[in-house]
Amino acid sequence: MKLYLVLYIFFVGQIRSTVATIDYCKLPCLKNNKTVEHVMCTLKNDCSVGPECKIKTKFELTREMKTSILNVHNVYRNKVAMGEATGKNGVNLPQGADLVEMVWDDELAYFAQCYANKCILQYDKCRQSSAKENIEQIIFIKIAVNPKTTDEIIMEMIESAFYSSKHLSEEEIEMHRNNKLTEQFTQLFWSRTSRVGCGLTRLLEDLYAYFMVCNYGPAGNIQGERVYKIGTPCSSCPDHRICDKRYTGLCAVVGEERNGLESIPAFLTTLERVVDPRLQKNESAINTGNDTSKVSLTNTTDRVKIKSINFSNQNRNTSGDERDKNKSEKSTNAPKIREIPIRICEVNKKLGGQDFEKYNGKTSSAESQENIYVCLVILSLLYHLSIFYNT
C-alpha cells in the first residue's frame, strides 16, 4: 500500500512538472475566426491565489476528492445509461448504448484548478489540451449554510445538472440543439466525452460557498449530433469494450487509463433521493454550462441523502421530543429569516462577456462578479442571524 502511495505521488509530481513546462501560448483557440489566448498563457502558468479571492489560502484537491468527483460523474452517467433520468413531462429518457466510463485527466484538472484559484466567476476563453483537442467547461457554484462535507458539496453540484434532464426530450437526445436549460446535462452525459478534470476552491470563510471548474474532453454539445446513442446499455461500446463491472451501464476503460483513481467511496454506493427536513430553503446552487448557459440561484428543500455519513446536530445531547419543543418555541418568537427568498441573489444570462439581468435593469459583466459576492455576503449574514435567533 505504501509503495502504491509513493508511486501515485511520484506520478502526480511528474504530471505537474510536465504541464508546467508546456508553452500553452503556442496553443491558442480559434473562435469565430478569431485567435483566442489559452487560459494558461493568460495566467502565465501561475496557479497562486488571485486578488479576487476572499480566502487567501490556496486550495488543492486531495486524491480522495478527485476520486469523489470522478465517481459522482460516473454514478450519474450510469443512471442515464440505464434509463433512470427523467425527461420532459415526467417520461424517462431512453437508455444509452455508448456512454463510456469517464477517467480523470490531470492536464484538464491543472487548467481547472489554476483558474479556480483566481476566483474569477466566469468562463475562461480557451482551454484546449496539449493534444490540440477541444475542451468543454462547466462552472458550478454551491452555497449552503448547513455544515457539509466536501463530498456532499461535490455531489450536490453535479446532481443539480443531472436533474436538468426534466427539460430534455428524446428528440433532443438524438439531435443536440443549443438549449441553455439543458446544456449542462448534455455535456455531462455526452457519450464520447471520456475525460474530466476539475478544480475547487472555497469562496467565503463564514459560509459553505464553493466554486468548482470542470473541464471535459473531448468536448460535447456539438450542434446536430446525438448526445448518446439510444439502445441497450453497452451494446455500442467503442473499441469493442464491454460493460464495466461497477457501473454496469457504462463502457469500461482499461486499468492504466484510470490514473490510479479506482476506488469508489462508500457513500456513492447508497445514493437515495429524499427530502431532507433539515434544509429549510436555506441553500442555493449555481450550475452553469459553457458560455451560453443560464445562471440561476434556486431554492431547494431536497437533496441527496448519504447513508454512510452521520449528519451533525446542534442539539445532539437532547432527546427528540425536547428538540422539537425547543425548535417550536424558538420559531414562534424568531423572525422567519430562512424564509427570505434566496432569489434576492438571482442572476440571469451567462457568465462572462455579456450583460447580467437584474430585477431593476442590467449591469455590466465587470460588476457581475461583485454582485455574486454581495449575494454570498447576504447569505452569510442571514446564516449568522439565524444562529443568533435560534440560540
Confidence of residue 258 (pLDDT cuts 50, 70, 90): low
Confidence at residue 163, expressed as pLDDT on a 0 to 100 scale? 87
Q: Is residue 167 part of a domain?
A: yes
Residue 74 scores a pLDDT above 60:
yes
Answering whether pTM is above 0.75, one says no
Q: And the C-alpha cell for 95?
A: 437508455
- The verdict on residue 311 lying in a domain is yes
What is the pairing mode between strands 103-104 and 195-204?
parallel
Please give the share of the chain, as a percent, with pLDDT higher than 70.
60
What pLDDT does 93 receive? 94
In 3D space, the residue among 198, 202, 176 whose CA is nearest the CA of residue 189 turns out to be 176
**How many Å apart are CA 258 and CA 135, to the nearest integer?**
19
Does residue 31 belong to any structural domain of this protein? no
Q: Which domain holds residue 159?
A: 43-330
User: What is the chain's mean pLDDT, rounded?
Assistant: 71
Strand 208-217, strand 136-144: pairing: antiparallel
pLDDT tens per residue across span 233-256: 999 998 888 999 999 999 998 765
Overall domain count for the chain: 1
User: Cell 475525460 maps to which residue?
Assistant: 195
In a domain, 378, yes or no: no
Please check whether residue 355 lies inside any domain of the structure: no
Q: Does pLDDT of 230 surpass 80?
A: yes
Q: For residue 366, tell me if it sits in a domain.
A: no
- Domain at 223, CATH number: 3.40.33.10
Q: Which has more confidence, 259 or 32?
A: 32
C-alpha cell at position 247: 457501473
pLDDT digits (tens, 9 = 90+) for 160-174: 888 888 999 999 999
Q: Tell me whether residue 368 is in a domain.
A: no
State mean pLDDT over 46-65: 87
In a domain, 102, yes or no: yes
**Rounded distance between C-alpha atoms, residue 61 and residue 40, angstroms:** 19
Crossing angle for the helix pair 2-21 and 106-116, to the nearest 10 degrees: 70
